[in-house]
Chains A and B, each alone.
Chain A
Amino acid sequence: MRSAAVRLGLVAVPVAFFAAFFAWPVAAIVARGLKADGVWQFARLTDVLGESDIRHVLWFTTWQALASTALTLLIALPGAYVFARFDFPGKQILRAVVTVPFVLPTVVVGTAFLALVGRGGLLDELWGVRLDTTVWAILLAHVFFNYAVVVRTVGGLWAQLDPRQEEAARMLGASRFTAWRTVTLPALAPAVAAAALMVFLFTFTSFGVVQILGGPTFSTLEVEIYRQTSEIFDLSTAAVLTIIQFLAVGAILAVHAWTVRRRESALRLVDASVTARRPRGAGQWALLAGVLAVIVVLLLLPLAVLVERSLDAPDFGYYRALASADGGVFLVAPIEAIGNSLQYAVVATLIAVLIGGLAAAALTRRDAGRFVRGFDALLMLPLGVSAVTVGFGFLIALDEPPLDLRSTWILVPLAQALVGVPFVVRTMLPVLRAVDQRLREAASVLGASPWRVWREVDLPLVRRALLIAAGFAFAVSLGEFGATVFIARPDNPTLPVAVARLLGRAGELNYGQAMALSTVLMMVCAVALLVLERLRTDRTGEF
């Protein structure tokens, strides 16, 4: 009875948060599109699905997500292996660097990426290969963004699998491949599945990449929702598409939750530091070299292009221009966007850690029932719902007392926290679940209150995970663009919003400043992630 009450208390706040800042706004905008004179127009569902253009969008969304996921696994799994099993100089920095793309705003990356695979890009100069009008540009950009998801999810677990198990199999006469197939692969499979599903989710709902690199011919559901809402103003079509995407994402998450549960089966894990060693033999060195080459070409070069372009003026001219308010594009000097972004991100991180932490605490309780476990998947939904839908939803739903937040600055961190919470939950959950329940019980028996149990038992054990979660929420908030662009105020633009505005203007100085600001954003993210690398507990977190 008592523990049920505690559980209720823990769940209540995250539920209230998601009800007020996610479910309600999204429901409001969907209702606006699908309700005419107070009557639901469900017939629109079949109408919209009957349109061949829409069916084409659905088809393209699905197959590009499948192709992107396959390609990402193909390219990133060797990376996961190398990061897990090999020890080489600069590994920590490199692992932080490959995570930077994941949190960069796509408008910046799209521009840099075009310079790599577009006309006159590196591939063009080397081999005359141009991908700027093909679906390959989209697929490669998806690999660019999601490489870290695979390396971290799969590599994190791989590093802790005891290599002696595979060695034992080989001693018993299994070939190298058989040993790997029968020992390592089954242990890894759930992590690979989880990573694949996350990549599928991110690419299924891909927005910026497809909008920038896909040109007018390729469109995902998310892009189509944006077009229908924002450009064509066909709210009923947008509402139908939102529902379809919602159902699809729900299905993906349900499967994901299932694989996550399966992964919690007991594996014999060892400290990652003992499994990694220097590569031995030509084959292993070649593998390391190959992975490094892929990272350099696919991940580092687009980032380097940004830096190079930002320096394309004498004496750091573009950087110096950031400090001046004369440009006319803003009411303030662009450099103030850095301060704004940091402030918003700090608040968003606090909210995300609080909400996500409570949710994770509720989810770890052993008495957590089926309902609470479903809640786990629900917390991920914001990752799969269009930022445009959320942005519009905020406006039409949060406009009356007691929640009249229309033009207050808190909207920005609230929207950013929505994206940060899933990362907090995902990082905290495995660690919290690993805390021995008996410790908590012992403390309880000795008379500690639930609050005290948490403070004395859980907190010391999860402090690092909490910091890592906070770091991720922070980095994701910094890069959030889709919803922020709707609600950020002009006198307080965030970094990505400022970059987009500078890119939206003609002239060398504007372009150069956009590149300089992007570089700054990239550096801030890289530093945040580097700090995280130092804090990493090397448990099987997903990110």
Chain B
Amino acid sequence: MSITKKATVLAVGFGLVALPALAACGSSDTDGDSGSGGGSKTVTLVSHNSWAVSKSVLAAFEKQSGYKVKVLEDGDAGQAVNKAILTKDNPQGDVFFGVDNTLLSRALDNGLFQSYEPKGSDLILPEYRADQDQHRVTPIDTGDICVNYDKAYFSEHKLTPPTSYDDLIKPEYKNLLVTENASTSSPGLGFLLGTAAKYGDDGWQDYWKKLKANGVKVVDGWEQAYNEEFSGSAGGKKAKADRPLVVSYASSPPAEVIYADPKPTTAPTGVATGTCFRQVEYAGLLSNAENAAGGKALLDFMLTKTFQDDMPLNMFVYPVREAAQVPPEFTKYGPQAKNPETMDPAKIADNRDDWVKSWTSLVLK
């Protein structure tokens, strides 16, 4: 009898082991190796879910370098960074892309990256450079978080759209703005940091009191703010949204044109250029990367003109490299802000949590 029992257990055990193999037949998976084993020809990039690149550009890199690129996306930007830190002793990949200046200190303090200065670093525009002594991170792209406005609303109401932070607290713009929760949303945090940079450590709270009195609405994430509350967005029109001002990105207006069918001649939305906070996104070679050589090649590639030119229309960001091309749609539908607010990552690191906490009790409670 014990033989039958063993057979049962074995059959069951076999079932468990055999399942993955069975399913692999049906899966369209093509990569044979799972990233284990030294001297791998696969280089793994860990990123957030806004990562995107043209197929042809990636294929060119794979052909020229001989590495096959595997991409792992880890949720939104904050999630991806936190996950990378949690797994740093035994990382999921070789290169991490997508830590921005608001979270940079968390990544560096936790020893997420090892030092490497990619080829082409000298061509990075000076204002974006960071960590110049140790080269643990390399800037890859930049973008502005700005208030967007619904052009139709303002022309219908014969009202000039706001252009600055100061405008947003004026009575004519009462109950028009929707923004995101600074503790849960990256544009929300960017907007808060923008006001902190503009009004200083002492003044920003006062500014937010006025903004609150002027009827600012706070929702949790960008999706809701933009697709459900903002009357100028495609989703907002369908949801009959009624807020003509939203905290979003400087690249949102071009996206409204590019992802429209038929394409309108002008963007339905505009950017209040005096309300911008500049984000810079960095990549770095992960500590304990298995394929460090491949990771270095990938970082070099991300600074090439090919990649930098390709990036804007895929990820809706601006290149950081000198003389990289900004697509005409960008300049036509959403000019880059002249003097966006910025803040030193070290200062952000020191204050971020305190500011978010005070902001929460000030605005949400």
**A interface SS class:** helix
Chain A residue, CB-CB nearest to B252: A506
Contacts of A408 in B (CB 8 A): 34
B134 at the interface (CB under 8 A from A): no
A-contacting residues, B306-365, CB 8 Å: 313-314, 316, 353, 364
Report how many A-B pairs have Cβ atoms within 8 Å: 211
Check B228–A111 contact: CB distance below 8 A: yes
Q: How far is the CA of A110 from the CA of B223 in the complex (A)?
A: 11
A412→B234 CA distance, assembly (Å): 32
Interface 9-mer from A113-121, A146-154, A178-186: A113-121
A344 to B150 Cα, complex, angstroms: 41
**Residues of chain B contacted by A346 (CB below 8 angstroms):** 23, 26
Produce 1/0 per residue, A5-30, CB < 8 A to B. Answer: 11001001100010000000000000
Set of chain B residues within 8 Å of A486, measured between Cβ atoms: 74-75, 79, 83
Is A505 within 8 A of B78, CB to CB? no
Q: Say if the beta carbon of A95 comes within 8 Å of chain B.
A: no
Q: Binary interface profile of B, 218-262, with partner A (CB < 8 Å = 1, else 0)? A: 111111101110000111001111100000110010011011110
Residue of B nearest to A357 (CB): B12
The answer to whether A399 touches B87 (Cβ under 8 A) is yes
B29 pairs with A409, CB closer than 8 A = yes
Q: Are B19 and A351 in contact (CB under 8 A)?
A: yes
Q: A13-B13, A354-B12 are in contact. Are A119 and B242 (CB under 8 A)?
A: yes
Determine whether the beta carbon of B224 is less than 8 Å from that of A407. no
Q: Does A485 contact B (CB under 8 A)?
A: yes
Instruction: Check B82 against A230 for contact (C-beta < 8 Å).
Output: yes
Q: Which residues of A contact B221 (CB under 8 A)?
A: 211-212
Q: Is the CB of A216 within 8 A of B83?
A: no
From known contacts A212-B220, A230-B78, infer whether A347 and B15 are also in contact, taking CB-CB under 8 Å.
no
Contact with A along B35-68 (1 / 0, CB 8 A): 1100000001000011111110000000000000
CB–CB B50/A216 < 8 A? no
Taking CB atoms and an 8 Å cut-off, the chain A residues in 254-292 that contact chain B are none
Query: What chain A residues lie within 8 Å of B108 (beta carbons)?
Result: none
Our pick among B1, B72, B261 for the contact of A509 (Cβ within 8 Å) is B261
* A399–B90 touching, CB < 8 Å: yes
Do B23 and A347 touch (CB < 8 A)? yes
Q: B4 and A114: CB pair below 8 A?
A: no
Cβ–Cβ < 8 Å partners of B261 in chain A: 313, 317, 321, 508-509
For chain A, residues 495 to 533, give those with C-beta under 8 angstroms from any C-beta of chain B: 501, 503-512
Judge whether A506 and B233 touch: CB under 8 Å. yes
Residues in chain A near residue B212, CB distance under 8 A: none
Establish whether residues A9 and B8, one from each chain, have CB atoms under 8 Å apart when the complex forms. yes
* Cβ–Cβ < 8 Å partners of B54 in chain A: 328
- Say yes or no: is B197 at the interface (Cβ < 8 Å to chain A): no
Q: Does B50 contact A119, Cβ atoms closer than 8 Å? A: no
* A489/B73 contact (C-beta < 8 A), A409-B27, A510-B259 known: yes
A407 with B35: CB separation less than 8 A: yes
Number of interface residues of B (CB under 8 A): 82
* Interface residue from A12, A13, A505 paired with B255 (Cβ < 8 Å): A505
Question: Does B16 contact A354, Cβ atoms closer than 8 Å?
Answer: yes
Let me know if B171 is at the binding interface, CB within 8 A: no
**In the complex, A400→B9 CA distance in Å?**
25
Task: Known contacts A346-B23, A506-B233; decide if A118 and B219 are in contact (CB<8 Å).
Answer: no
Contact with B along A285-306 (1 / 0, CB 8 A): 0000000000000000000000
Q: Are B71 and A491 in contact (CB under 8 A)?
A: yes
Check B72 against A216 for contact (C-beta < 8 Å): no
Query: In the complex the two chains form, is A503's CB within 8 Å of B227's CB?
Result: yes
Q: How far is the CB of B287 from chain A (nearest CB, A)?
A: 15
* Chain A CB within 8 A of B92 CB: yes
Indicate if the CB atoms of A9 and B55 lie closer than 8 Å: no
Chain A CB within 8 A of B7 CB: yes
A114 and B230 alpha carbons, distance in the complex (Å): 13
Known A343-B26, A503-B223; contact A231-B75, beta-carbon cutoff 8 A: no
In Å, the complex CA distance between A395 and B46 comes to: 13
Is B50 within 8 A of A407, CB to CB?
Answer: no
**Which residues 298-336 of A have a CB within 8 angstroms of B?**
309, 312-313, 317, 321, 325, 327-331
Closest chain B CB from A56 CB (angstroms): 10
Picked from B26, B70, B106, B259, the residue with its CB within 8 Å of the CB of A508 is B259
Chain B residues, Cβ within 8 Å of A232: 183, 353
> What is B's interface to A at a CB cutoff of 8 Å?
1-2, 4-5, 7-9, 12-13, 15-16, 19-20, 23, 26-29, 34-36, 44, 49-55, 70-76, 78-79, 82-83, 85-87, 90, 92-93, 106, 181, 183-184, 218-224, 226-228, 233-235, 238-242, 248-249, 252, 255-256, 258-261, 313-314, 316, 353, 364
Top 6 nearest A-B pairs (CB, nearest first) are A507-B259, A120-B240, A508-B234, A509-B259, A506-B255, A216-B181
14 contacts between A and B (CB under 8 A): A9-B9, A120-B240, A211-B220, A215-B220, A229-B82, A231-B183, A395-B87, A399-B90, A404-B34, A407-B35, A407-B44, A492-B28, A506-B248, A511-B235
Extra pairs beyond A233-B106, A406-B92 (14, CB < 8 Å): A13-B9, A115-B239, A215-B181, A216-B181, A313-B261, A328-B52, A329-B52, A406-B35, A407-B34, A407-B35, A489-B72, A490-B71, A506-B249, A512-B234
